[in-house]
Amino acid sequence: MKRSTAVLAACAVALGSAATITLPNAVAAAQGCKVDYTVTSQWSGGFQAGVKVTNLGDTISGWSLTIAFPNTSQRVSQGWNATWTQSGSTATATNVDWNRTLGTGGSTDLGFVGSYSGSNPTPTSFALNGVVCTGSTTSTSTTTTTTTTTTTNPPVGRTPVEINGQLRVCGVNLCNQYNRPIQLRGMSTHGIQWFDKCYNTNSLNALANDWKSDLFRIAMYVQEQGYETNPSGFTNRVNSLVDMAEARGMYAMIDFHILTPGDPNYNIDRAKTFFAAVAQRNAAKKNVIYEIANEPNGVSWASIKSYAEQVIPVIRAADPDAVVIVGTRAWSSLGVSEGSNESEVINNPVNATNIMYAFHFYAASHKDNYRAAVSRAAQRLPLFVTEFGTVLATGGGTFDRASTVAWLDLLDSLKIGYANWTYSDANESSAALRPGTCNGGDYSSSGVLTESGALLKSRISTTDNFPTS
């Protein structure tokens, strides 16, 4: 339903963290570069780290970042947003296609999972294309910098993930670690192949802290300049966004965004490859939800069910506990948009446990008969509105406040979670942010919000009141 001709955006974001570690007495060469190295989690014999590299010199097209560890016990076992290699105590991250160019002041975020023995000390130095990088300065001078340590403050109070923990499906509800029904409310990205610059440190901080979002849906298109063009690159980017959501206490919904063609079986091999990778990598996390087929269309429920029953076991092999969401017929309308209704799913459910079914609506196009279908289905099926818009099904048209409010009131009464399309500055009326917002650092004030964005922020930021007993 949402088509875009937006230009592919380069990645320029930062990973969240508990503490940023900076390097003492590092000297910047005349060209200049800066690295922020962050240990995001650590366990016995292993750790995960984020590396933000900023180019302070002239624009470069093609780069390698070397990381000098104190000894050979520290090994990179898996990395993302770059091609990673290691020789001795030096690891090297080489650009991938979508982040090969770094303009002056431009930055990109990398990350890796590593192993170690004994203690896990900070790397001794970094170099970008042979230029030694500083740890804290933003100057290109050759003066010696002083050591500083900064801390990123977590959101005020306990986060949604801290409160609710590992989620599960119980009856027709999504339940938390206390087996109590909850509702998650949040926002969806636009296609990350087009609007990647919108998903950075500032925007996710705003989403978690100002919008008080419980959920961040990551829309990874399969076609339309998406996953099929660069499977490893898109897989790595999805994983990095999962990490960013986790660091801020939000649930991350990994959306395998099938739209055209509408038969998910066309992409079944890609789906198995992708979900095997992300499930294995994120299995230990409590914040991940898998959405395996965004909007099947022009295809029978039996075909969608067959697809789901082949993909879900791939996820379960690595991640047996996470909630999986199955798209429904006719652009995830429970079949309503193609003349059917919820009975086809009720009478022939997917043969799997701990699953939910997706429902999508666009408020200006889908009104009373769609709300009636959801009201009926919610008595028999666990539903999640993984995508909805406040406008027409095209993603454009006039903002329909009355229908949107009616929908949100219904979802609140039924404790059905939702993600709004979209947390982006796309030049379409479904976007929450005004065009050009993602070029700056403000993602919350009234000056950058569209009518749709202002309404959604006001609804999402109200108190969740998650039950714990």
Catalytic residue ranges: 295, 387
Count of other CB atoms within 10 angstroms of residue 118: 9
Give the contacts of 126 (CB within 8 A, at least 6 positions apart). Answer: 23, 33, 35, 37, 51, 53, 65, 66, 67, 68, 132, 133
Alpha helix stretches (DSSP H) within 264-342? 268-282, 301-318, 329-332
Contacts of 290 (CB under 8 A, 6+ apart): 253, 254, 275, 278, 279, 315, 319, 322, 323, 324, 325
* Buried residues in 64-83 as b, exposed as e (16+ CB within 10 A): ebbbebeeebbbbeebbbbe
Give the residues across from 255 on adjacent strands: 219, 291
DSSP string, 59-109: -EES-EEEEE-SSTT-EEEEEESSEEEEETTEEEEE--GGG-EE-TT-EEE
Residue 171, C-beta contacts closer than 8 angstroms, at least 6 positions apart? 382
Distance CA 308, CA 10 (A): 32
